[in-house]
Amino acid sequence: MSKLNNLIITETEPTTLLKDFIAFLKYLKTRHIVLTPTSENISRKDLFEINQEMAYPATDNTLRTDQKFYPLLHLFYHLVLAGKLFQKTSEKGSKLVLKETERLKLFDELGIVERYFFLLGTLWIDTDWSKLQCGYFGKAPFFGVEDALITLGEQKPGKKIRLERKDNCYFGRMLHQWEHFLLYFSYFGFWEVNRKVTKKPDHPKSYFIAESITPLPFGVIIAPILGETRRLINWNLARRRELGEWNVIPGSPAPDEEFYEFLEQLPKRSQSKEDVRVDKGKIGDPFFLPFVPLFKKGELQKTLLREGKKFVDGVYIFKVALAGNLWRRIEISSNHTLLDLHNSIQRAYGFDDDHLYSFFMDNKPWSNEGFISPCDEGGPYVDEVRIGELGLFKGQNILYLFDYSTEWRFLVKLEEIRKEGSKPKKPKIIEKKGKAPEQYSYY
């Protein structure tokens, strides 16, 4: 590893990632950021203004441009939330706003190199990649990432690699449909991207395709170490939740690890991997550990500690609505489970509890942030987690989807977390409005 040390990271090297991220944080800290009501993203006006603060502003965007068309800002938005530098919170009028956390001060105390690896680790561990992919094909390049990173380590810096599907370049074919993830990795200094200009009228604005990439020296060194030591299917927690796991340790063995090891047999390579044979460490090690030898002594020695699932004790008040004038208000203890909440909703609306169901914590149907009924296949299950350990915030909207064929969709909004007073032994229906519909009206 001796010839790999003394890499340099500044606010503008290998890219302007850190300079732009600091400008992004400054804007959020000095403005009152009200999120959009449906997608819960940054408003178009704020996006337009933040974009002007970036080193290389996105072009052709206007005051009517949504967040997903600002790839850099879209990435930053998910990093500040996944890294818990900011959190969503509710204010008067049911508006959601961004509020800085105590962790933001701790981030400011990190060194430049440590900030970079905190952001890279946040992307790798805590960010849901399916929410980052905003392109035409709409799929995150989850499997094969390690192969691509190790292959990048075998490339010559500065030599352009075409990404046409018809080309014989194995590496180019691997990256052909990475779409916005090609940009995300370019922001972190792995390569430069040359976008392909297309004027086909049937291509929507979200369509992104790159003509070529040019590996950067920084990326050629760091990519194979990342691919060798931090396997994404083990480290990314959103993906682990998709497999039915809850509250796992990043880097621990995944249930289907052996299956994907079989599917992703890498071809034998002529190049020795001596330079990237680094210690993978043990379960629970910090993300940045394998990269320490790449930098001068003392430049990379700490990060923000990962916060476990804190239990927030109290009485939770949920408003469960089918429509604006049809709702039930339910009082439930922090010690109750989502199964208890399900049972109380069924009772409140007089349903028969005869179908599968899920709670989607981000209010998005079929997202990775779901808890499913005990009779379903997969997990995590509603009886595995208590209300108090879900990390809910006042004003949070949850989708309770009952009966996958009929799809009864209940909006479950957390109105209050009451810390004082006794907790109910059983969930209580404390208020009603509107007559409940017939579950099987067609009969």
- Give, in order, the Cα–Cα distances in Å from 306 to each of 107, 290, 310: 12, 18, 11
CATH code given to domain 315-433: 3.10.290.30
Say what the pLDDT of residue 270 is.
Answer: 44
Lowest mean pLDDT among 38-52, 221-235, 303-317, 395-409: 303-317
Average pLDDT score, the chain: 89
Please tell me which residue, 403 or 207, carries the higher pLDDT value.
403
pLDDT-derived band at 185 (thresholds 50, 70, 90) equals very high
pLDDT score of 358 more than 70: yes
Report d(CA 435, CA 349) in Å as an integer: 9
Pick from 240, 267, 268: which is nearest to 255 by CA? 240
Q: What is the largest CA-CA distance in the chain?
A: 75
pLDDT-derived band at 306 (thresholds 50, 70, 90) equals confident
pLDDT-derived band at 1 (thresholds 50, 70, 90) equals very low
Say what the pLDDT of residue 164 is.
Answer: 73
Report d(CA 245, CA 96) in Å as an integer: 29
Report d(CA 301, CA 289) in Å as an integer: 8
Report d(CA 184, CA 401) in Å as an integer: 33
Task: Record the tokens describing residue 56, joined without a space.
Answer: 């290389």
**Annotated domain spans of the chain:** 2-294, 315-433
Average pLDDT over residues 357-367: 94
Say what the pLDDT of residue 273 is.
Answer: 44
Say what the pLDDT of residue 272 is.
Answer: 41
Question: Hey, which of 2-6, 228-232, 242-246 has the most confident mean pLDDT?
Answer: 228-232
pLDDT-derived band at 94 (thresholds 50, 70, 90) equals confident
The pLDDT tens digits of the residues spanning 118-162 come to: 999 999 999 999 999 887 666 778 878 999 999 999 999 999 998
Report d(CA 87, CA 98) in Å as an integer: 6
pLDDT-derived band at 83 (thresholds 50, 70, 90) equals very high
Say what the pLDDT of residue 91 is.
Answer: 83
Lowest mean pLDDT among 86-100, 250-264, 428-442: 250-264
Say what the pLDDT of residue 268 is.
Answer: 44
Give the sheet arrangement for strand 210-215, strand by strand: 161-162, 210-215, 191-195
pLDDT score of 2 more than 60: no
Say what the pLDDT of residue 6 is.
Answer: 82
Average pLDDT over residues 109-121: 98
Residue 22 dihedral angles phi and psi, to the nearest 5°: -65, -40
Please tell me which residue, 209 or 407, carries the higher pLDDT value.
407
In the chain, % of residues over pLDDT 90? 70
Q: What is the dihedral of CA 428, 431, 435, 437, to 10 degrees?
A: -40
pLDDT score of 271 more than 50: no
Overall residue count recorded for the chain in this entry? 443
Say what the pLDDT of residue 254 is.
Answer: 85
Pick from 326, 144, 135, 152: which is nearest to 225 by CA? 152
pLDDT score of 92 more than 80: no
Question: Hey, which of 49-58, 86-95, 163-172, 270-279 has the most confident mean pLDDT?
Answer: 49-58
Average pLDDT over residues 198-227: 83
In three-state secondary structure terms, 21 is helix
Average pLDDT over residues 413-442: 92
**Paired strand residues for 413:** 319, 397
Report d(CA 225, CA 205) in Å as an integer: 35
Say what the pLDDT of residue 132 is.
Answer: 92
R_g of the chain computed on alpha carbons: 24
Q: Are 63 and 45 in contact (CB under 8 A)?
A: yes
| pTM higher than the cut 0.75 | yes
Report d(CA 320, CA 325) in Å as an integer: 11
**Share in percent of the chain as helix, strand, coil (round to 5):** 35, 20, 50
Please tell me which residue, 204 or 15, carries the higher pLDDT value.
15
